[in-house]
């Protein structure tokens, strides 16, 4: 089968803040096992789609064999998940037109987030697409609380009326001048939380990975800023929040918080 859309899951073992993170357990299943299940379900819903794990560590490749997930070994020198995704696409499905980069630390990314991202790429003249959630006030309060212990966890974004991303930040943006009045006017805050998922056209991914890291990308530690700083079009796909959700697991504290959430709300399994 010729693959038009490839979902790639970059999964490194040597995370600075959380070594071995893809193999960490969440309610009895590894993080990578859960992410692969989401990718498998999404690929099954799309025509001419497939998924693959891109790793640089044999321990993760061995784990993939045990959970029936295809895996590609990539260069340990890859400087980012996007570089790893492109290498995996070149090796696994060189004919694909679209590459969806699903981070290996986002175990409850719903299937429809993946399919909506791929649909946006197929239907619009854009370089990249990424989901985001408009937070209600409780969601914003929860994000602020999480940042007290994990300041780098959770990314927010601002976008224009057509959905084009204007900026991303690890800080909570925009700053809110008169929050009390806004809380009275609407149940929704003006803050959009970015979901750690990107879709690229093949040409855009080549261009992106060939461009040196940009100034604010390096300051914030957010590679999507390289696209904006270089004039590429990034479309934000608005999606609904999930009961059990996380913007990404960056630290053991994030994992503990997610496990507490599952204890309280139940294990959602594969999230559709």
Per-residue pLDDT of 107-136, as tens digits, reads 888 999 999 999 999 988 899 999 999 999
Average of per-residue pLDDT across 189-213:
95
Helices then strands, each counted (H, E), the chain: 10, 12
Asked if residue 52 belongs to a domain, the reply is yes
Backbone angles phi and psi of 12, in degrees to 5: -95, 145
Q: What's residue 93's pLDDT?
A: 96
Q: What percent of the chain has pLDDT over 90?
A: 72
Band (pLDDT 50/70/90 cuts) for residue 2 is confident
Q: What is the pLDDT of residue 244?
A: 64
**Mean pLDDT for the chain?**
92
For the domain that residue 210 is a member of, what is the CATH number? Answer: 3.90.550.10
User: Which pLDDT does position 242 carry in this prediction?
Assistant: 76
Task: Say if residue 245's pLDDT is above 80.
Answer: no
| 94 found inside a domain | yes
Residues 6 or more apart whose CB falls under 8 angstroms from that of 119 comprise none
Is 95 within 8 Å of 1 (Cβ atoms)? Answer: no
Beta strands in the chain (DSSP E): 5-11, 25-26, 29-30, 49-55, 71-73, 98-102, 128-136, 155-159, 165-169, 188-194, 197-201, 234-238
pLDDT, residue 258, reads: 83
What average pLDDT does this structure show over 135-144?
95
- Does the pLDDT at position 55 exceed 70? yes
Tell me if 11 is assigned to some domain: yes
If one counts every other C-beta atom within 10 angstroms of the C-beta of residue 166, the result is 12
So what's the pLDDT on residue 246?
60
User: Three-state SS for 102?
Assistant: strand
Domain count, the chain: 1
Nearest to 105 by CA among 42, 197, 171: 197
**pTM (two decimals):** 0.89
Q: Is residue 190 part of a domain?
A: yes
Query: Is residue 265 over pLDDT 60?
Result: yes
List, as one string, the DSSP characters of 37-57: HHHHHHHHHSTTEEEEEEES-
Structure tokens at 41: 């379900």
- pLDDT greater than 80 at residue 256: yes
pLDDT (0 to 100) of residue 18 = 82
The model's confidence at residue 49, banded by pLDDT at 50, 70 and 90, is very high
Which residues constitute the domain of residue 145?
A: 5-265
Residue 10 in any domain: the answer is yes
Query: What DSSP element (H or E) covers 64?
Result: helix 58-66
259: in domain: yes
**pLDDT band for position 50 (50/70/90)?**
very high
Residue 270 placed within a domain: no
On the question of pLDDT at 247 being above 60, the answer is no
What is the rounded CA–CA span in Å between residue 208 and residue 94? 17
Rg (CA), the chain: 18
- Quickly state the pLDDT bin for 145 (edges 50, 70, 90): very high
Return left, alpha or beta for 262; rule: phi > 0 is left, psi -120 to 50 is alpha, else beta: alpha
pLDDT recorded at residue 252:
84
Q: Is 271 among the domain residues?
A: no
pLDDT of res. 69? 97
Helix 137-149 vs helix 252-265: crossing angle, to nearest 10: 140
Q: Is the pLDDT of residue 186 over 90?
A: yes
């Amino acid at each position: 089968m010729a693959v038009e859309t490839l979902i790639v899951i970059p999964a490194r073992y040597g995370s600075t803040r959380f070594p071995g993170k893809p193999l960490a357990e969440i309610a009895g299943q590894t993080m990578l096992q859960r992410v692969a299940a989401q990718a498998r379900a999404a690929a099954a819903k799309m025509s001419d789609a497939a998924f693959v794990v891109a790793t640089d560590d044999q321990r993760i490749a061995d784990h993939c064999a045990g959970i029936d997930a295809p895996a590609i070994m990539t260069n340990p020198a890859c400087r980012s998940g996007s570089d790893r995704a492109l290498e995996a696409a070149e090796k696994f499905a060189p004919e694909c037109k679209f590459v969806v980069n699903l981070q290996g630390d986002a175990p409850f990314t719903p299937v429809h987030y993946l399919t909506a991202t791929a649909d946006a790429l197929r239907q619009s003249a854009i370089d990249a697409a990424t989901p985001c959630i408009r937070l209600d006030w409780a969601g914003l309060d929860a994000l602020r609380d999480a940042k007290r212990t994990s300041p780098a966890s959770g990314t927010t974004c601002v976008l224009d009326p057509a959905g084009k991303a204007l900026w991303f930040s690890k800080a909570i943006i925009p700053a809110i001048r008169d929050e009390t009045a806004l809380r009275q006017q609407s149940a929704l805050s003006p803050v959009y939380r970015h979901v750690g998922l990107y879709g690229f056209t093949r040409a855009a991914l080549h261009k992106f990975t060939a461009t040196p890291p940009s100034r604010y990308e390096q300051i914030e530690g957010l590679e999507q800023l390289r696209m904006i700083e270089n004039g590429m079009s990034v479309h934000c796909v608005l999606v609904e929040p999930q009961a059990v959700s996380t913007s990404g697991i960056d630290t053991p504290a994030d994992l503990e918080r997610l496990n507490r959430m599952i204890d309280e709300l139940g294990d959602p399994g594969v999230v559709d």
